[in-house]
Amino acid sequence: MKKELSITQDHWDWLGGTLSRHAQAKIAPTLIKLIMPGVRLFEFAKNEVIIIEGDIGREMYAIYKGGVSVGRGRKKLAQLKEGDYFGEISLVAKVPRTATVKASKTCQAFELSWRAVTAIDEYFPELMISIQNVARRRLEDQ
């Protein structure tokens, strides 16, 4: 069952490092904490559904611990692990969710709200370009 967790400085440091890798540019964790409203950390039980195909997406996720399985119908599309993100297609392409995502084992993931993604677009354009490119590739692969 989805459970919200407290975010510590270690969590912010991890998120800053992970986003920096995706952006290929240094993003200070303290800056992320200040300018990215709507970042929350959740724990999901094994097999818990996080995203449902066809739903309207208002957030994306970055996997802190554990992993998720991405699928459409009975077809498995991908297995994602720590440091990967998902849910970006709905926000970038402004379309309903294109797949169902569920925890393949107990999983902790940062939820980045639409407001947080808007802040990424404004303050970290390199990261937004990276997210858009991944969303485009994932859409093409489907």
The CATH number for 106's domain is: 2.60.120.10
Q: Which domain holds residue 96?
A: 3-122
Residue 129 CA to its chain's centroid (Å): 15
Domain count, the chain: 1
Q: What is the pLDDT of residues 9-49, one digit of tens each?
A: 999 999 999 988 888 778 887 888 887 878 999 999 999 99
Evaluate whether residue 138 is within a structural domain: no
Can you tell me the distance from the alpha carbon of 114 to that of 59, in angstroms, rounded to the nearest whole number? 5
Evaluate whether residue 63 is within a structural domain: yes
Is pLDDT at 142 greater than 80 in this prediction?
no
In this prediction, residue 14 carries a pLDDT of 95
